[in-house]
Chains A and B, each alone.
Chain A
Amino acid sequence: MNFAGEDRYSRQERFYGIGAEGQKKLAQAKVLIIGAGALGSACAETMVRSGAGKVTLVDRDYVEWSNLQRQNLFTEQDAAERIPKAVAAARRLRSVNSSVEVEGIVADITAEEIGLYTRGIDLILDAADNFEVRMIVNDIASRDGIPWIYGACTGSYGISMTIVPGQSACLHCLLDSVPAGGDTCDTAGIIGPAVQMTAAYQTAEALKWLSGNVSALRGTLVSFDLWTNRHSSVDTAKLKRADCPSCGAKRTYPYLSPDSHSRTAVLCGRDTVQIRPPSQVRLDLEEWERRLSAYGRAERNPYMLSLTLDRHRMAIFPDGRVLVHGTGDPAEARSLYHRYFG
């Protein structure tokens, strides 16, 4: 079946900023979305519906019930079956627009591997949930000259900025180091409209860039609070630093060096710690299900293995990553990890 009839993009082509020419450019565009959670869902849906050529999503997590309130690509069945977000999102997106090439990759973004995903990409949409990943994105974008659009939200607040290498200040110009968990964690909860608004700012900029409307880009750091009705738009051009380690004259791309990345990450507001294996591995989940079922209830789907213990639960991925649920303490998580994985 082919639903890509002539009428499909008619409303977008009628829009003065895009037109048939802009639509053609969009259809050639390859977009990478970092994260397939709330922002990733919203950004991906807009890009796929609008007819981008290819959309790739990379996400390390799986769907849980607490996601459904705001992550608009997922269903109750995805949560019940603990489907990885990248898989569930790609499935849904393909059914929304079969003429777009959609790729869903279940993986963590690391300094070593991000280059695999950014090759040939025209634009990166940031839908990550932490600054460690954003700094890696910022460095590779600067190195390879790929524009990227920072977006983040918490509570009723959201913020976004478009970073064009060689022109704008970069994220490292604005932040001299990775902010500590405290001020960026989503412990404040979040409402769906804050997600949609942030994603709207991001995808509007993406449509401008990809349809060839560079002069229409906003050029400011925008932020808003939908509960207190505040809005601000700040010109950050003057914050571009000549000595920035990521985009300055003597740039070294510090976040692309492997040792800048920690193996243990506390997932914000989730009572969960992620542990990465010390080296690249490929786990046979069936074999591990057999081994681990002696210690607790082991359940497996094609993408991950879940082990329920007395006070914790572990989600084990084929790439060797383990999410330890039920603790926010990295030391406790590591000791559990070592008990079962050596």
Chain B
Amino acid sequence: MKLYINGNETELDEACATLADLLSRPEWKERRMIVELNGMIVGRDDFGTVLLADGDRIELVHFVGGG
């Protein structure tokens, strides 16, 4: 399916079904994220149950510590 992650069109295989699956990918795995799905914020407890669908727009905001 086709997703839009931070505005970038991204092709995902079918195995990637939930938000948790997406966030376990190497490029996101070690990061702390705030996730918005189609304009709605998703709580951490729901990452494992929220299913992704073709055309979803996902905003991933990651925390950094530098100052």
- By a beta-carbon cutoff of 8 Å, the part of chain A in contact with chain B is 35, 37-40, 126-131, 134, 151-154, 157-159, 174-176, 179-180, 182-186, 190, 221, 223, 230, 232, 234-236, 238-239, 268
Q: Flag whether B34 is at the interface (Cβ < 8 A).
A: yes
Whether A234 and B67, one on each chain, are in contact in the complex, defined by CB atoms closer than 8 angstroms, is no
Q: Which label, helix, strand, loop or mixed, suits the secondary structure of the A interface? A: mixed
- Name the one of B7, B31, B61 contacting A183, with C-beta atoms under 8 angstroms: B31
Q: A268 CA to B30 CA in the complex, in Å?
A: 16
Say how far B45's CB is from chain A's closest CB, in angstroms: 9
Q: Which positions 37-62 of chain B face chain A at CB distance < 8 Å?
A: 41, 43-44, 59, 61-62
Q: Which positions 1-32 of chain B face chain A at CB distance < 8 Å?
A: 6-7, 30-32
Q: Could you say which residues of chain B place their CB within 8 Å of the CB of A157?
A: 64
Q: Could you say which residues of chain B place their CB within 8 Å of the CB of A221?
A: 34, 61
Q: Could you say which residues of chain B place their CB within 8 Å of the CB of A152?
A: 63-67
Question: When A and B form their complex, which 7 residue pairs have the shortest distance between CB atoms, in order from nearest?
Answer: A184-B65, A186-B66, A154-B66, A39-B67, A129-B67, A154-B64, A183-B31
Q: A263 CA to B6 CA in the complex, in Å?
A: 38
Whether A232 and B59, one on each chain, are in contact in the complex, defined by CB atoms closer than 8 angstroms, is yes
Q: How many residues of B contact A (CB 8 A)?
A: 18
The residue of chain B having its C-beta at the shortest distance from the C-beta of A235 within the complex is B41
Whether A230 and B7, one on each chain, are in contact in the complex, defined by CB atoms closer than 8 angstroms, is yes
Whether A239 and B63, one on each chain, are in contact in the complex, defined by CB atoms closer than 8 angstroms, is no
Known: A184-B64, A190-B66. 13 other contacts (CB 8 A): A38-B67, A39-B67, A128-B65, A131-B63, A152-B64, A158-B64, A183-B32, A183-B63, A185-B66, A232-B6, A232-B36, A234-B41, A234-B61
Whether B43 and A129, one on each chain, are in contact in the complex, defined by CB atoms closer than 8 angstroms, is no
The residue of chain A having its C-beta at the shortest distance from the C-beta of B6 within the complex is A230
A-B contact count (CB 8 A): 85
Whether A127 and B67, one on each chain, are in contact in the complex, defined by CB atoms closer than 8 angstroms, is yes
Q: Could you say which residues of chain B place their CB within 8 Å of the CB of A190?
A: 66
Whether A129 and B65, one on each chain, are in contact in the complex, defined by CB atoms closer than 8 angstroms, is yes
Residue among B6, B7, B30, B65 with max Cβ neighbours from chain A (10 Å)? B65
Whether A159 and B63, one on each chain, are in contact in the complex, defined by CB atoms closer than 8 angstroms, is yes
Say how far A150's CB is from chain B's closest CB, in angstroms: 9
Whether B41 and A239, one on each chain, are in contact in the complex, defined by CB atoms closer than 8 angstroms, is yes
Q: A234 CA to B57 CA in the complex, in Å?
A: 13
Whether B65 and A175, one on each chain, are in contact in the complex, defined by CB atoms closer than 8 angstroms, is no
Q: Could you say which residues of chain B place their CB within 8 Å of the CB of A126?
A: 67
Q: Could you say which residues of chain B place their CB within 8 Å of the CB of A158?
A: 64
Whether B65 and A131, one on each chain, are in contact in the complex, defined by CB atoms closer than 8 angstroms, is yes
The residue of chain A having its C-beta at the shortest distance from the C-beta of B35 within the complex is A234
Say how far A223's CB is from chain B's closest CB, in angstroms: 5
Say how far B39's CB is from chain A's closest CB, in angstroms: 9
The residue of chain B having its C-beta at the shortest distance from the C-beta of A38 within the complex is B67
Say how far B58's CB is from chain A's closest CB, in angstroms: 11
The residue of chain B having its C-beta at the shortest distance from the C-beta of A39 within the complex is B67
Q: A223 CA to B34 CA in the complex, in Å?
A: 11
Whether B63 and A268, one on each chain, are in contact in the complex, defined by CB atoms closer than 8 angstroms, is no
Q: Could you say which residues of chain A place their CB within 8 Å of the CB of B65?
A: 128-131, 134, 152, 154, 179, 184-186, 268
Q: A39 CA to B67 CA in the complex, in Å?
A: 5
Q: A37 CA to B66 CA in the complex, in Å?
A: 10
Q: Could you say which residues of chain B place their CB within 8 Å of the CB of A238?
A: 41, 43
Say how far B2's CB is from chain A's closest CB, in angstroms: 19
